[in-house]
Amino acid sequence: MNWDAIGAVGEVVGAVAVVVTLVYLTIQLRQNTRTMKLSTHHETKTAYNALHIAFGSDPGVSILLDRGAEDYSQLKREERFRYAMLMRASFGLHGDMFLQYQEGLISEEEWGVQSRSIARALAPRGARTWWVRDAEIFPNAFRREVERILTAGHGHDSDQL
């Protein structure tokens, strides 16, 4: 065998090795992306479930949320603060979900669910008053998205759960 033939065989073997490596890395990247999306979904659902349990298991919190949603301005100063903290916790999660949606970690369908939840939460007059008052604490992109959702009219009757 001459050196030219050996060199050509070496180049072919090297090219095949590069292609195999690229295919392997592509498969690994897809699996990693899927794992990240599933992990993100699980972590978010866990956080929402904890919030829902906290909101639903304490009658005082449930009553405060209901009263604040109906007429935020009629709450006492301490109640307005507590209501605002509860809403900030809830909308902080919505904001996190929006960021994950922007980054492609949650699906369009899942963001649609969140959009409807945001619209429903801000449908009552008192909740909308809170949003106008506290919206500035959230990132600009999220505020614009909430305004888009509200303008698009994704809301539901505020008496529905």
pLDDT 10s digits, 41-53: 677 777 777 777 8
**Alpha-carbon span 86 to 25, nearest angstrom:** 44
For position 158, what pLDDT does the model report? 41
Q: What is the pLDDT of residues 20-38, one digit of tens each?
A: 888 888 888 888 877 776 7
CA distances from 44 to 29, 62, 81, 114, 150 (A): 22, 22, 25, 11, 23
What does pTM read for this prediction? 0.72
Q: Say how far apart CA 152 and CA 110 lie, in whole Å.
A: 17
Domain boundaries along the sequence of the chain:
39-152
What helix, strand, coil percent values describe the chain, rounded to 5? 85, 0, 15
